[in-house]
Amino acid sequence: MKLGGLMDLSEYSFFNPSPNFREMSILKALTESSSVSQERLARLAGIVPSMVNKYIKDFEDSGLIQKEGENRRNMKYVLTEAGKFRLQYLTILYLKEAAKLYTESREIFGEVLDVLKESEHESFYLYGAGIIGGILADVLRTEGIKIIGFIDDSAAKQNGTFHDLHVFSPEKVDGRDDTAVIVASFRHANHIVKNARDRGLDNVMVFTISKLGKVELEQIE
């Protein structure tokens, strides 16, 4: 469960929580539930439970939080005015970096997005309900690209959902002039292109990442 719009960094392998992120996560959690458990605070901040006590003590010593309640049973922590100001400041720093990360991610997919937005096609299928397809589904929908659903050759995936989109069998998809298919697979791209063409799907594009790491979209003639 995400906390107030913050990224759950446990889902990522390229991003490690910084001290500022940990501090913000704990303060944010305390605003949403002053009696939140130590285990939950640890998970949100990306630390071991034993470290939570150190953060809480530091917050108390710095005047960011204070205890309320007469005993351990009903004791809770609440943010002081200084704590609220600190949380506000940390949130501004977080949003600044999150916006920068979004902009840089947008630049990585910039050429692909430009090709799709300038194309004559109004909507798209993603052929391949796997990791690559999932990435494209998330990015393209965020940018307002209409994704009808996935196509996949696996009977186990067909008629199910993936990233909240329906998974069609190739036989169930009609090729229309205003619709195109984006091949979202590296290992099976050639096979998928042939299969799509055999099924009468003529508007086919292939998502690729070059050996230099450039993200591209190739139109198949």
Chain-wide mean pLDDT for the chain?
Answer: 87
Cα separation of 152 and 170, whole Å?
7
Give the pLDDT confidence score for residue 1 in this predicted structure: 43
β strands within the chain, DSSP E: 65-68, 76-79, 123-127, 147-151, 161-162, 165-168, 179-183, 204-209, 215-220
Q: Could you tell me which of 83, 142, 134, 136 has the C-alpha nearest to residue 112?
A: 136
Q: Name the H helices within 109-144.
A: 110-118, 131-142
Q: How confident is the model at residue 5 (pLDDT cuts 50, 70, 90)?
A: low
3-state SS class at 192: helix
Give the pLDDT confidence score for residue 99 in this predicted structure: 87
Place of tokens 């990306």: 46
Place of tokens 């139109």: 219
Place of tokens 């998928």: 192
Find the mean pLDDT for residues 183-201. 89
- pTM exceeding 0.75: no
Q: With 80 as the cut, is the pLDDT of residue 9 above it?
A: no
Cα separation of 152 and 130, whole Å?
9
Domains of the chain (ranges plus CATH)? 9-108 (1.10.10.10), 110-220 (3.40.50.720)
3-state SS class at 214: coil
In tens, the pLDDT along 58-101 reads 999 999 999 887 776 777 888 999 999 999 999 999 999 988 98
Query: Is the pLDDT higher at 50 or at 71?
Result: 50
